[in-house]
Amino acid sequence: MSDAAPFLIPRGFRFGAAVAGIKASGRPDFSLIAADAPASAAAAFTANRVIAAPLIVDKENLRASGGKVRVVAINAGNANCAAGQAGLDAARATCTAASKVFACAPEEVFPSSTGVIGVPLPAGKLAAAMPGLAARLGRERDHFLEVAAAILTTDTVKKTAYARLEGQGAGEIRIAGLGKGSGMIHPQLVPHATMLVYVLTDAAIEPADLKAFLDPAIEMSFNRISVDGDTSTNDTVLLLASGASGIRVARGDRRFQDALMQVCASLARQIVADGEGVSHVVELRIAGARSDADALRVAKAIAHSPLVKTAWAGCDPNWGRLAAAIGYSGAEIDPERIDIRFGDLPICRHGGRAAGYDEAAAHAYLNQDEFSISIDLHQGQGSCVFWTTDLTAEYIHINADYST
Amino acid sequence: MSDAAPFLIPRGFRFGAAVAGIKASGRPDFSLIAADAPASAAAAFTANRVIAAPLIVDKENLRASGGKVRVVAINAGNANCAAGQAGLDAARATCTAASKVFACAPEEVFPSSTGVIGVPLPAGKLAAAMPGLAARLGRERDHFLEVAAAILTTDTVKKTAYARLEGQGAGEIRIAGLGKGSGMIHPQLVPHATMLVYVLTDAAIEPADLKAFLDPAIEMSFNRISVDGDTSTNDTVLLLASGASGIRVARGDRRFQDALMQVCASLARQIVADGEGVSHVVELRIAGARSDADALRVAKAIAHSPLVKTAWAGCDPNWGRLAAAIGYSGAEIDPERIDIRFGDLPICRHGGRAAGYDEAAAHAYLNQDEFSISIDLHQGQGSCVFWTTDLTAEYIHINADYST
């Protein structure tokens, strides 16, 4: 859907990015998304108990504003996490600065930060850059893409997704999402990254209904991916509805839910594909688990196993490592009932090497940029689909020299 | 203790190794430890639900023999795991072959395997090599070291530890342990790699009492280490007591317990230090947790975080990654009470950068082969000490091309 739809930006929003001097590289590191009027907002944040200051402020603000957002202010290069009272002060100073520039209440501002943890955020740099940036925001796709670029850290590509729904009359509803995330990617958002995702729509939706749309979409997208198993302190997904299409969407609308789901799934897969040092994207299809929760346990044990992930980096069909990870996942299993396939290739049957096992074919299959591994536990009806990556020497190089 | 004690081998055992042709390298891959008479035995096995065939047979045999072992038969190069009925048949065939050569019951044989998973073990090669090897077993340290060498896989050094206890009269009790393990190291033995560890003593101890000595020793040693977080299907610790010293040790003997603990702790630390691709050995000292279990949760979250481990590889004092791992560990924490020290250096205080934080000093401290990180959660009295490693590009190289 995101491929077929034209890249139409939801109405009611303006976008832009600037150099505030947070990133040492001197690249754009400060973005604004401004709603023409207070937009309905629904958000989900990391389950990590160490929570970055902007997330604490975001939660307070959403409560105080009744789920309304006028301005999203995003900086890259500094996560504003583990910085104590100074961090909270910095996040609130950003809200105050934005409230003056945009003539709104401070609690209608939604600050986000991503980057290094434990270094105080120089909020003054954001405040200084804000008036100039605010004066040149725009509504076009190029402006939207400015933000998609400026929020990146170790990402190598921009991540965007689009959907469009024809209205019953002449109108249409537009949805557009942008996100970042490459390492420290194992989002566990509550009801469930540093993954930052902003999804915008011009549908008219009440905040409570917006949340009802967002939660299931997150569960089947961002909560089903992992690059390195590290759950960030800053993961945030924000969904804003401006209502500028003039089309009202009621709770439970199937078409809107599906379109939102597809935008989220597309962004989730783009984040995995751009994972730090990734050379293979892996789809895990777990079936026959005692429960969906057990299926997810198996998927996560595999997705977080350094031995499995390094084998993938080498296109090594060492399925014994998969069996070992299944075994310690905590899921209810019977080792002698485990079946494993690489794509359509039989690999493991009844817990042992499959009769038709062909090592050369298995190796060739794994020597693709993307591949799929199916596991049937033959324990019940539980299942899940999960996206993850290999673990390469490049990941080590990227992360062994990040903050210095 | 292991350094100070002379390398005396417990009496009542013979040792040796040979080339059976399991390893492709053509190096010794088959070892025997033979007790002169049935030795008291206590063992602990992996908590992985996918369990290698020899472990299943070992459990059956220990039950059938009432905790007595005459012969330990260890092969490297093939884990005999996930090989279905053929795997069980292979393990039992090894017992039968040993029972004929050593004129004992098949259930007095303790087979062990380590190596690649999912490939049928050619047990005939072990049976063929057995008579020749049995004929030239010996009691000396060189024979003991033959076994310590032949059980290795990706290990780079032999791992042995020794202890000696003076008897009340003229005699002495000797303890000697040997082990292997380098990757797939996160032993969770029950009550708790492929880690294989064999500890021998010539004390006279009943099997049930032996188990009472072994369990706490394991809990404070092998269950407190992790290289890569992958819990193997084959992890085994076996403690044998020949009684050949003529000295009886009763349950609860503090000196024997301490000596055994030190032998196990020494082997555990040797395994971590020889972890695949390891350039730094890290001691984690967690204090102030709500419970010991919570302290262990924090230690394991840190020990299994790719971002923390890669930062260590780069001597990068990026303590924010530690804070993030603490945050998602599942332990009860208050982010604003977390203190972190590298050795004696203050790093994080009350959840933020410590006042005396000196990045250059922190970097220099981490640029050592071994270092210690202390974390105080200020939540309660729970604590633990845990040993782990960094994650290097060399680990990836070793594991991306293992079975092929």
In this predicted structure, what is the pLDDT of residue A54? 93
Structure token pair of residue B301: 């979250």
In this predicted structure, what is the pLDDT of residue A401? 67
In this predicted structure, what is the pLDDT of residue B148? 93
| Contact residues, A window 158-187, toward B, CB-based 8 Å cutoff | 183-184
Q: How far apart are the CA of A266 and the nearest CA of chain B, in angstroms?
A: 25
**Range picked from A64-78, A237-251, A259-273, B150-164 for highest mean pLDDT:** A64-78
Is B214 within 8 Å of B42 (Cβ atoms)?
Answer: yes
The alpha-helical segments, DSSP class H, found in B274-390 are 292-303, 306-313, 320-328, 359-366
The model's pLDDT over B93-148, given as tens digits with 9 standing for 90+, comes to 999 999 999 999 999 999 999 988 888 899 999 999 999 999 999 999 999 999 99
Q: How far apart are the CA of A381 and the nearest CA of chain B, in angstroms?
A: 20
Q: What is the spatial distance between Cα B160 and Cα B217, in angstroms, rounded to a whole number? A: 16
Partner residue opposite B318 with nearest CB, options A188, A324, A402: A402
Q: What is the spatial distance between Cα A121 and Cα A137, in angstroms, rounded to a whole number? A: 24
Chain B contact present for A324, CB below 8 A? yes
| CATH number of the domain located at residue range(s) A13-273 in this protein | 3.60.70.12
The model's pLDDT over B270-307, given as tens digits with 9 standing for 90+, comes to 888 887 888 899 999 999 999 999 999 999 999 988 88
Closest-CA residue of chain A to B318: A403
Q: Domain residues of chain B, as ranges?
A: 13-273, 281-399
Q: What is the spatial distance between Cα B154 and Cα B275, in angstroms, rounded to a whole number? A: 9
Q: What is the spatial distance between Cα A150 and Cα B329, in angstroms, rounded to a whole number? A: 31
**Is B90's pLDDT higher than 80?**
yes
Length of chain B: 404
Closest-CA residue of chain B to A323: B50
Whether B323 and A352 lie within 8 Å, measured CB to CB: no
Can you say how many angstroms the Cα of residue B180 is from the centroid of all Cα atoms in its chain? 7
The model's pLDDT over B222-244, given as tens digits with 9 standing for 90+, comes to 888 887 767 777 888 889 899 88
Partner residue opposite B320 with nearest CB, options A116, A311, A320: A116
Structure token pair of residue A355: 């009769």
What is the sign of the dihedral through the CA atoms of A335, A337, A343 and A346? positive
CATH class of A281-399: alpha beta
Structure token pair of residue A105: 């209440």
In this predicted structure, what is the pLDDT of residue B401? 67
The model's pLDDT over A288-314, given as tens digits with 9 standing for 90+, comes to 999 999 999 999 999 988 889 998 998
Q: How far apart are the CA of B71 and the nearest CA of chain A, in angstroms?
A: 28
Q: What is the spatial distance between Cα B54 and Cα B111, in angstroms, rounded to a whole number? A: 6
The model's pLDDT over B373-396, given as tens digits with 9 standing for 90+, comes to 999 999 999 999 999 999 888 888
In this predicted structure, what is the pLDDT of residue B2? 39
- pTM above the 0.80 mark? no
ipTM: 0.70
Residues of B in contact with A307 (CB under 8 A): 183-184, 228, 230, 399
